[in-house]
Amino acid sequence: MDKDKESRTEETTSLDERLFGGHHHKTTISDGHKKAEGRGRTSEESQKVASDKWDSGETSDSWCFISTACTESKGLPDDCKELNCLRHFRDLFVSNLPNGDELIKEYYEVAPKIVSAINKTKHPEKVYSRLYEELVSKTVNLINSNQKQKAFNNCISLVRELEQEYLR
């Protein structure tokens, strides 16, 4: 561990985490300017996820996520139940799919470009309001209804549509 870098692991038991079964752990690595967060069923798993993100440069100041932009437009904090649910879904469902890590990496590459393009539109708040309903709210409802594959399909199809609309 670098002398300026701090790591903290804690056990969490929020409702969203219990939906995925059992207790979960969250590890945050920070140097005061950027942070990487990892979640997992064990402290070791959450530490590995956070370390991998840190080592690959996937820190919170590196990009903006579409779902984060949507919740921010609604005035919700970064640790709101919607984002926590989507993060757990990413870490515990999507990352365990056969090509899940590749899809997550692809999302990390394309999402900031989509957000940047949306921010350049005449009324980005209207776009984010629509996306909040179609992406965030719908996906969270599907996850909470234990329809994880439908939630995943919803995310994939919407991100592909956004790529076509804003990046082509």
The CATH number assigned to the domain with range 1-62 reads 3.30.160
The answer to whether residue 74 scores a pLDDT higher than 60 is: yes
- Which of 26-30, 70-74, 128-132 comes out lowest in average pLDDT? 26-30
Give the containing element (helix H, strand E) for 119. Answer: helix 100-119
Q: How many helices (H) and strands (E) does the chain have?
A: 8, 3
What is the pTM (predicted TM-score) of this model?
A: 0.66
Q: How far apart are the C-alpha atoms of 136 and 134, rounded to whole Å?
A: 6
- Alpha carbon 98 to its chain centroid, in Å, reads 19
**pLDDT digit string (tens) for 82-123?**
998 998 899 889 989 999 889 988 888 898 889 989 999 999
Task: Give residue limits of the domains in the chain.
Answer: 1-62, 63-168
Report the pLDDT value the prediction gives residue 109, as an integer from 0 to 100: 85
